[in-house]
Structures are given as structure tokens and as C-alpha cells.
Amino acid sequence: MSEPTDVVGSTAAVPPGYVHVAQLGTPGPGSAELLAPRLQQGLADGGTVVLACAPGLRGPLLDRLGADGVHVVDPDELGGRAPDAIAGHTALVDRLTVGGTRLHLVTDSGRTSLGVPAWLQTEALLNHVLDGRAVAHYCVIDPGDLGPETDRALSCHPWSLTADGVVPNPGQKDPAEVLRSLWSAPGPDPLEATPPTLEVEDVGSVRQLRRELTTSLADGPLDPDEAEDLVLAIDEVVANAAEHGVPPVDVRLWVTEQRVLCAVADRGHGFDEPLAGYGPAHGEDLSVGGMGLWLARRAVDRMTTAPLADGDGCVVRLVIDPRRED
């Protein structure tokens, strides 16, 4: 991640490496007016422009840029839960930065159908995952999409685009700090004050647990594939607790018409590795294992860790939130 040190003029080249730039506004003609000179300069320097943004921004930019050197990408290809969104961004960069070409990417904050926290995770993680890659990433931050989370969204971007050009963002935060702020919870989820759909204390048979989880999820909001993925994620967290935690391992599951929550508790100290688990631990070689956190994160909207209420152990919460129509 390039260090924000100096003002970069309105059409001057951005620093090398991954430069993550926020532009506060709506994805429309006003934002296009600020972005177009920088993108035009990027094309003139031999770079590639990718527009993965809302039609209201994409149209005015295409009018100014033309089609040569410009790729239009469905924003959904870069969306989804953070592990999938990260994979989409990485694949795009790999495909379009061959031979040292610099990529100029334009996105916006409208991809929040999985909830704002999922989008914020991706924005924070891109600074870590794409560090050093030849990408200038301009993200239009719309307070209408994000509401009270607008400041946290801005903090994911080391740079800001203003009428003065690209300038350092004094409010930017380290990716790990952003992720911890998203995952920290003042106490149990409100659902935990209600009777669980399933409760298994001191898990013995993992096979039996999987059967009971599958049965409990059958009448919930998840389709069969999503339910199967969640069972696998819970299985991975239970296995991790059994291997690295302190027994007993207890599982409680709540299934409502809109939400699913699973709490896996043991008597260990938990873990604090906010940047872990957003890709297989050993890259593309899945045969050597190390996939547990990655598989779990792919299956849920949020995975948090916290001390147990009595302080004697920790609990991992896996949450699937209600879906929001775009």
C-alpha cells in the first residue's frame, strides 16, 4: 500500500503500487467530472481502465473516455462475501496487468446487498491483498448507501480524491484495525436471549452434529446449498476449537425466518488474526489443507470472536444476515 505523503495533482500520475482512493459523492456526472481527467491520463500513459460501477457513473465516464482501453465489468463480479470479492478483484488484476500495465479501476459503494459490513471488509482487505500491485483504485463513496458507516468506509482508503487532486486521507486506518472494529461486539447477539433451535453441549460425534445441524436448518431462510456450506463452516470451527482450544466444545444454533446464528464455545483463549482466512492458507494448492477459516468466512456474512460472558473461554459466532434488495 503506497504511503500517502504528498498531494498528487489533478492529472499527475499516482504513486506506484496499489493506491486506494475514496471520492465522497454520488456515482453520477459530478463524480465523473473529477475522475475523467485522471483516467484519461492513465490511458495516455498506456494503462487500462476498468469501470465496475453504477450505470449513472459508467455512462458519463464512457462519454468522456471512449471505448479504447476501457473495459466494462459487471460490479457483481467484484462483490459477494469478502473472500469471493477478494478473489474477483485479484483475478481481474491478474488478467489486466500483464506486462507491467497499470490498471485504473473505478467502483462505488452500491454493492451492499449482503450488508454494509461485508462490503467494508472487502474495502479494508484490498489494501492488504493488493499491496504492491499496479492498481489505481477509485471508489466513489455515497453516504446514501452507507449512512452512519460512511466515516468507516472512508477510513479504508489511504487517499482521497478532491477538487485539489489525490490527497492523503488523515482518517485512514490500518486494515486490521478496521476489521477488528467490525467484529468487536459489546455482548451476545440479541438472539442468544431466546431459546436456541439446537443446542449440543460437549460435542462428541461431529457426524451426528452435522446431521442435527442439517435438520435444524431445513426450515430456515437458507437454500440447500447455503445450508450445506454453513454446516461445513460450523464443522471447521468446531474442529479448530477441538484441536486448538480447551474442551468442552459447545454448539448453539438459532434459525429464524431471516437470520441464522451459530455460537461455538470452548474454554480456550480464542484467536486474534483479523487478516487470516480470506484465501486458502497455502494458495491454490488445496491438497495440503489450511482451508478452515477460508471455508468458514466464505459461508457466512460475519464471523466474530469474543470472550465468554463469564470470562472462562471464548465464543466464535457465525452469522448470516437478512438479504437486502439492491
Q: What are phi and psi of 245, to 5 degrees?
A: -95, -160
What's this model's pTM, rounded to 2 decimal places? 0.78
| Domain 18-182, second-level architecture | 3-Layer(aba) Sandwich (3.40)
Partners of 23 in beta bridges: 140
**Confidence (pLDDT) at 325:** 52
**Confidence (pLDDT) at 291:** 59
190 upstream amide cis, omega within 30 of 0 = no
- Cell readout for 15 is 504513486
**Confidence (pLDDT) at 210:** 96
**Confidence (pLDDT) at 326:** 47
Give the residue extent of every domain in the chain.
18-182, 184-320
Max Cα–Cα distance, the chain, nearest Å: 64
Give the separation between CA 201 and CA 263, rounded to whole angstroms.
Answer: 11
**Confidence (pLDDT) at 77:** 93
Give the count of alpha carbons within 13 A of 326, CB side only: 11
Picking from 7, 55, 15, the residue whose alpha carbon sits closest to that of residue 32 is 55
**Confidence (pLDDT) at 297:** 81
Averaged pLDDT in 10-residue chunks for the chain of 326 residues: 45 72 97 96 94 97 93 94 89 88 94 83 93 95 95 96 93 92 75 96 95 96 93 92 92 96 91 65 44 77 81 87 62
CATH class of 184-320: alpha beta
Contacts of 271 (CB under 8 A, 6+ apart): 244, 305
